Amino acid sequence: MDFKKKLVNIIKKAIDLEERYIVIDPVPRNFMNDFDYVLSCFKLVKIFKKDPNEIAVEIYEKISIDLDLKILEKIEVFNAYVNFRINRELFTCKIIREIVNKKENFLKNNIGKNKVVLFDYSSPNIAKPFHVGHLRSTIIGNVLKNIFKVLGYKTISINHLGDWGTQFGKLITAYKLWGNKEKDININFLNKLYIKFHKESEKNKELNKTARDNFIKMQNDDPENIGLWKLFNNISLSEFKKSYENLGINFDFYIGESFFNDKMDFVIKELNKKKLLIKSNDASIVDLSDYKMSPCLILKSDGGTLYPTRDIAAAIYRMNKFNFYKCIYVTAIDQNLHFAQFFKVLELMGYKWAKNLIHVSYGLVNLEDGKISTRHGKIILMQDLLNQAIDNAKKIILEKNPKLKNKDKTAEIIGINSVIFNYIYNSRTKNIIFSWERALNFEGETGPYVQYTFVRTCSILKKSKLTDFDKLIKDIDFNVLSDNISWKIAKILYEFKEKIIESSEKLEPCVISRHIMNLAQAFNEFYRDNIILDNNNKKTRDARLILVYCVNMVLKLCLDILGMKTCETM
């Protein structure tokens, strides 16, 4: 059911205008009591070459003649605007019927049928700490994948681990110098070694050379160095996987950078064949000055490959293996140039599909006292954040609901949800200044607030003892739900499908999280102002209950998309 589309069709029929010119917007919420949609005629001035107010009157008159009174209850002209009011009863009836009929499938769509979309996200660097900055990629990538899945795409998630590169030379050097007596080598120990290396190398420049040599040895399959590389990989990876488990995040593939070591000769050959590779100070580069970009570095002076070289090889591999429709990379904004460069190189290599590579960047996560720096140990570890959030949730539960069963499980769900929601509630392009206070805040527009609303719907439904909503829907008086707040809820529910499409187009999770917040707030207003389980008035009770059922269903579906688990009590 798509009222907006119907409205556009009505207007189209009346004034014979191409659909793309008819832009109908929802009336801003504070004005919604009178009207629901508005057509602004300012945009039509160029076509009709008339005063916009005159256009509005003309459209109004034409539409009024063959007005479909079933949908439109009222239409009015105000200056250059034509305002429409939709028949609430009919609208609410349709949307609620649709939700009850389709249930878990309510939000599903098949626009993505037969199309494969790849998501490259999280992709932390091995032997470097997994910090709160990477969490942003991890969460945004996972939500985007879920959004595309709901839209019917075949989604594939890839963790492009940073498991190759000069940082290993440094770590191996540090380990050989200061770490080889340590028995319990864990991630914290590796982090400390990494920081120590940077500190010491500022004083002793020789260390950098040793690190380079160790990396070259590693590239040449030196058994000792390769052994250490494997050890560090295993330690990091098992630690990362713990965090992923906490977050409820899975990857279809872990294909790290090292996987491409034997696939880069092909890239070099192709680049040479196409005369794209040139020497510059002993290094090999692709000149991108025609595109107003600095050159893309392909080979170092010692012949070693680089991050872009591996990304080029990875993209070609992914295309061959998955034949993707789109390949989406989620990283911080400071990698914009890297992606623009290697996308361009692939295009110059003649790969038409390069236009289907998309970089989704997000603002940096900074600390209150400046930038995150793994080298200087200025970081907040992701796992620390998750643990603190869970502890915090537990404290609140003990204070507010000490008799709750499954306290630990509930605290985990609420704590993790608070982190996830917090990370996607603002536009991804905004920088974040990480503060513990904000990260652990449970009041106001937060994940726990949404979760609490969900619990409220669960408890009403439980108290009602109703289970058969398919039967209940047959006999509902939808007029009961034409009051302002019920109507607001119905409209928000209706808008979710559009919001999901919008968020997929903008590649922006906050379109959904914001709308969820609208729903939660509207529902709490509804709950505050109405008696739902009114045993003296079956008609009202049934209608309100069915609305609660729909809110519950849609909340659950949307929280699933955001990767947030739900609990029914808290």
For the chain, report the end-to-end CA distance as a whole number of angstroms. Answer: 35
Task: Report in angstroms how near the CB of residue 96 gets to ligand ARG at its nearest.
Answer: 43
Q: How far is Cα 399 from Cα 376, in angstroms, rounded to an integer?
A: 39
Residue 308 lies near ligand ARG (rule: CB under 6 A): no
Binding to ligand ARG by residue 125, rule CB under 6 A?
yes
Least separation in angstroms between CB 120 and ligand ARG? 5
**Which listed range, 118-126, 417-425, 479-487, 509-517, lies at the site for ligand ARG (CB under 6 A)?**
118-126
Residue nearest to ligand ARG (CB): 162
Min. distance of Cβ 313 from ligand ARG in angstroms?
Answer: 11
Does the footprint of ligand ARG cover residue 284 (CB under 6 A)? no
Q: Which is nearer to ligand ARG, 314 or 489 (CB)?
A: 314
| Cα distance between residue 466 and residue 457, in whole Å | 13
Q: Which of residues 146-185 bind ligand ARG (CB under 6 A)?
A: 160, 162
Euclidean distance between CA atoms 33 and 319, whole angstroms: 51
329 binds ligand ARG (CB under 6 A): yes
Specify the stretch interacting with ligand ARG by CB under 6 A; choose among 116-124, 235-243, 425-433, 556-564. 116-124
The least CB distance from residue 311 to ligand ARG, in Å, is 5
The answer to whether 175 and 224 have CB atoms below 8 angstroms apart is no
Choice from 36, 58, 120, 412 touching ligand ARG (CB under 6 A): 120
What's the closest the beta carbon of residue 123 comes to ligand ARG, in angstroms?
A: 4
Only one of the segments 63-71, 123-131, 292-300, 437-445 lies at the binding site for ligand ARG (rule: CB under 6 A); that segment is 123-131
For 367, list phi and psi in degrees, rounded to 5: -95, 165
Indicate left, alpha or beta for 182 from its phi (over 0: left) and psi (-120 to 50: alpha): beta
Q: Could you please report the per-residue DSSP string of 271-326? A: HHHTT-EEEETTEEEE--GGGT-PPEEEE-TTS-B-HHHHHHHHHHHHHHHH--SE
Residue choice 87, 92, 123, 243 for contact with ligand ARG (CB under 6 A): 123
- In the list 88, 96, 124, 567, the residue contacting ligand ARG (rule: CB under 6 A) is 124
**Angstrom distance (rounded) from CA 476 to CA 473:** 6
Report, in Å, the least distance between residue 162 CB and ligand ARG: 3
Q: How far is the CB of 135 from ligand ARG (least distance, A)?
A: 12
Structure tokens at 525: 């207003």
Q: Per CB under 6 A, which of residues 61..100 are in contact with ligand ARG? A: none
Find the shortest distance in angstroms from Cβ 506 to ligand ARG. 21
Half-sphere exposure of 16 (CA within 13 A, CB side): 1
Other CB atoms within a 10 A radius of the CB of residue 269 amount to 11
Minimal distance, residue 391 CB to ligand ARG, in Å: 27
194 binds ligand ARG (CB under 6 A): no
Q: How many DSSP H helices and E strands does the chain contain?
A: 20, 14
Q: Distance between CA 84 and CA 67 in Å, rounded?
A: 11
Pairing of strands 116-120, 81-86: unpaired
SS (H, E, C) 487-518: HHHHHHHHHHHHHHHHHHHHCCCHHHHHHHHH
Rounded to whole angstroms, how far apart are CA atoms 561 and 28?
A: 26
Please state, in angstroms and as integers, the Cα–Cα distance from residue 224 to each residue in 183, 229, 507, following that order. 17, 9, 44
Q: Closer CB to ligand ARG, residue 123 or residue 451?
A: 123
Residue (200 or 347) nearer to ligand ARG, CB? 347
Is 309 a binder of ligand ARG (CB under 6 A)?
A: no
Stretch that binds ligand ARG, among 117-125, 211-219, 238-246, 415-423 (CB under 6 A): 117-125
Among residues 59 and 313, whose Cβ is nearest to ligand ARG? 313
Which tokens hold the place of 550?
A: 């729909």
Q: How far is the CB of 232 from ligand ARG (least distance, A)?
A: 15
Quote the least distance from Cβ 171 to ligand ARG, whole Å: 15
Task: Determine the longest span between alpha carbons in the chain, in angstroms.
Answer: 89
Q: Is 374 near ligand ARG (CB under 6 A)?
A: no
Task: Report, in Å, the least distance between residue 283 CB and ligand ARG.
Answer: 20
Contact 201, 207 (CB under 8 A): yes
**Among 36, 239, 311, 412, contact with ligand ARG (rule: CB under 6 A):** 311
Q: Which residues ranging from 330 to 349 are in contact with ligand ARG (CB under 6 A)? A: 331
Taking CB under 6 A as the rule, does residue 191 contact ligand ARG? no
Cβ–Cβ under 8 Å, residues 402 and 117: no
Nearest distance from residue 569's CB to ligand ARG, in Å?
A: 39
- Count residues binding ligand ARG (CB under 6 A): 10
Q: Can you tell me which residue has the tokens 């290599």?
A: 349
Instruction: Give 123 or 453: the residue with its C-beta nearer to ligand ARG.
Output: 123
Nearer to ligand ARG by C-beta: 35 or 329? 329
Which DSSP helix (H) or strand (E) runs through 167? helix 166-174
Tell me whether residue 124 or residue 509 sits nearer to ligand ARG (CB atom).
124
Q: Name the one range near ligand ARG by CB under 6 A: 47-55, 119-127, 362-370, 548-556.
A: 119-127
- Do residues 209 and 156 make contact, with C-beta atoms less than 8 angstroms apart? no
CB of 309 to ligand ARG, least distance (A): 11
Of 179 and 308, CB closest to ligand ARG: 308
Angle at CA of residue 67, ends 66 and 69, nearest 5°: 135
Conformation bin of residue 165: beta by default, left when phi > 0, alpha when psi is -120 to 50: left
Footprint on this chain of ligand ARG (rule: CB under 6 A): 120, 123-125, 160, 162, 311, 314, 329, 331
